Structure 1
């Protein structure tokens, strides 16, 4: 089973994590929003088609996280991810991947609303509590 997680650290009182996973042929993702004190504010679970890959689940979760950040007007937001493949795809502004392009659209929407979303890579499974919560939710 392959998994990876993203932590979204916001300067507003919210921290969010996401994860995408594939277990027993089922594919899912989750976005967990927490405040800085560690209390969970929201958990959003996504069920994807069984043929989707973990990468697709990760990208869907990133897009969902971006949409939540925009809807709640959390800015600036820093998305910390252990998914190098997602970050590499997002760094390719000529990507033809439809999930990546959905995220580009979300990031453009964020920019139009003066919401700053940034990304940074972190090591996986190093005990970040939000990371572990998203793992379980996905």
Structure 2
């Protein structure tokens, strides 16, 4: 009876650990409220932000599309295949909060990756979201 109880306890712990790990891997990006403006610049590397923004948008539809893309991003893994990000992004919220992000923009048909500046977690978006993001940024292949 003790062995059965121990086996059940061990199985339960393994299941809880597995479920917790799956939740950890698929965590979504955290937004701080309603986004009011998004500014984008070419990145100079990790850790800092290039404040020479080449595009900044406040249009409700564009901001809403960008917000939907961010909400769709999922943390799947921690690896990044490139030495430096392509773009730096300043996301400003209605209550004066902001996020600084790095973006590794995929080519057409590829995933892209967001990272909060100063953190190592990587959030991936689908190839379809990459296509939409490329249109928002106005990047052509």
TM (norm. structure 2) is: 0.28
Bigger Rg, which one? 2
Higher strand share: 1
Larger RCO (CA under 8 A, 6+ residues apart): 1
Calculate the TM-score normalised by the size of structure 1.
Answer: 0.28
